Structure 1
Amino acid sequence: MDLSEKAKLAKLGDKEAFVLLIRTVQHSLFVIARTMLKNDEDCADAIQETIAKAFSNVHTLKEPSYFKTWIIRILINECNRIIRKKKRVYPVPYDMRKTSYQDDFEQIELFEVIDELDEQLQPIVMLFYIEDLSVKDISKVLGVSEGTVKSRLFRARQQLSELALWEGEAKYELS
């Protein structure tokens, strides 16, 4: 059963289908929350609120095939609410981040590079390169135009290439 079929069942009130959907997207939710919030407690709060809101409102889901995009949007709104509440983001030690990935050293390096980007570019880079969402889906998730997503991706690529040159070719290579 694919994600769309599970979402249809969940929309009709099937609680088990909803649980399966959450299990399917839980890693993505964690990675996005971690990127935005940088601390386990805030991530847990954001994900918990996201799941509660999604469960309460799954019946309002218009297109079941967009469940992942829909729930990521809820998560981003929750993360932004927490950020506004705290008005401050604390860095997380990189050894805590590596637990969610297979190849530790490459992922630590990836997070180091992403952390160097402007804050508004970080979620777009994570959604595009890590979560493999399309520009169209990212624009829906973040509530900005596709042109804004494209221009931010362009700026992110520019910053990444400057970081690669600044850090030296031995650390970050452009492909």
Structure 2
Amino acid sequence: MRTMEMEVKKAQQGDLDAFVRLMRNLESQLYGLAKSILRHDEDCADAMQETMLKAYKSLTSLRKPEFFKTWMIRILINECNQLLRNRKRTVVMNELPEASNPATSYYGDYQKIDLEEAVNSLDETLRIVIHLFYYQDLPIKQISEVLNISKGAVKGRLHRARGILADWMKNRKEEDVSYEPI
């Protein structure tokens, strides 16, 4: 039996240390997923806290310990979506629009953009699938279960996202080419 499954069973029997070990083991992966959805560290911390609390309270309802990671990801995505819904209802008064930020408008397109930024610029549905597949190493079947969509939809989103990222990389390479006189 795998270590994670044993830890889950211990945690389900009330071993708080086992639960803490499980959370520490998944913390960076879950945070990365939250960051790809929410983009703000404060919101990520809130989502992580709520996810851990809900998981702890309902751990005994998890029937198959081998699906603990998938279960945690599903709770986190639901928490992130709830925060996004709440954010839409909140009006921020002191936030400047992007164009009025002098650093952004001065540097514009000249700032270095890496692949992670390209992934973060994807539409949320594509970004989540890319994150789960490449960063979390989840198979397509588990991604379809976590997101409650068909395997075909997962494959389609992966295909679209890869195409967008490939175009982005191609365009970046063309921009980097410079012609200097000999």
Specify the TM-score bucket, using the shorter chain as the normaliser: 0.7 to 0.9
> Does 2:155 correspond to 1:153?
no
TM-score by length of 1: 0.82
- The structure whose Rg is larger is 2
- Identity, % of aligned positions: 45
CA distance in structure 2 between the partners assigned to 1:116 and 1:44 by the alignment: 21
TM-aligned CA distance change 1:4 to 1:162, over 3 Å: same
CA distance in structure 1 between the partners assigned to 2:126 and 2:85 by the alignment: 17
CA distance in structure 1 between the partners assigned to 2:154 and 2:19 by the alignment: 30
TM-score by length of 2: 0.79
Name the amino acid aligned to 2:29: S
> Does 2:123 correspond to 1:114?
no
CA distance in structure 2 between the partners assigned to 1:76 and 1:47 by the alignment: 10
Q: Which residue number corresponds to residue 48 of structure 1?
A: 49
List alignment gaps of at least 5 residues for structure 2. 90-94, 99-112, 177-182
Q: Which residue number corresponds to residue 36 of structure 1?
A: 37
The CA RMSD over aligned residues, in Å, is 2.0
Q: How does 1:49-128 map to 2 (within 5 A)?
A: 49-87=50-88, 109-128=114-133
CA distance in structure 2 between the partners assigned to 1:143 and 1:151 by the alignment: 14
CA distance in structure 2 between the partners assigned to 1:54 and 1:74 by the alignment: 8
1:98-120 Cα offsets, whole Å, 9 max, x none, are xxxxxxxxxx7232110232221
Match of 2:114, SS? helix
1:59-88 Cα offsets, whole Å, 9 max, x none, are 001110111110111000000000111129
CA distance in structure 2 between the partners assigned to 1:141 and 1:86 by the alignment: 23
TM-aligned CA distance change 1:58 to 1:169, over 3 Å: farther
Deviation at 1:121, TM superposition (A): 0.3
Name the amino acid aligned to 1:159: I
List alignment gaps of at least 5 residues for structure 1. 92-107
CA distance in structure 1 between the partners assigned to 2:77 and 2:174 by the alignment: 34
User: Aligned residues, how many?
Assistant: 154
Match of 1:10, SS? helix
CA distance in structure 2 between the partners assigned to 1:85 and 1:72 by the alignment: 20
CA distance in structure 2 between the partners assigned to 1:119 and 1:52 by the alignment: 25
CA distance in structure 1 between the partners assigned to 2:28 and 2:174 by the alignment: 31
CA distance in structure 1 between the partners assigned to 2:175 and 2:57 by the alignment: 49
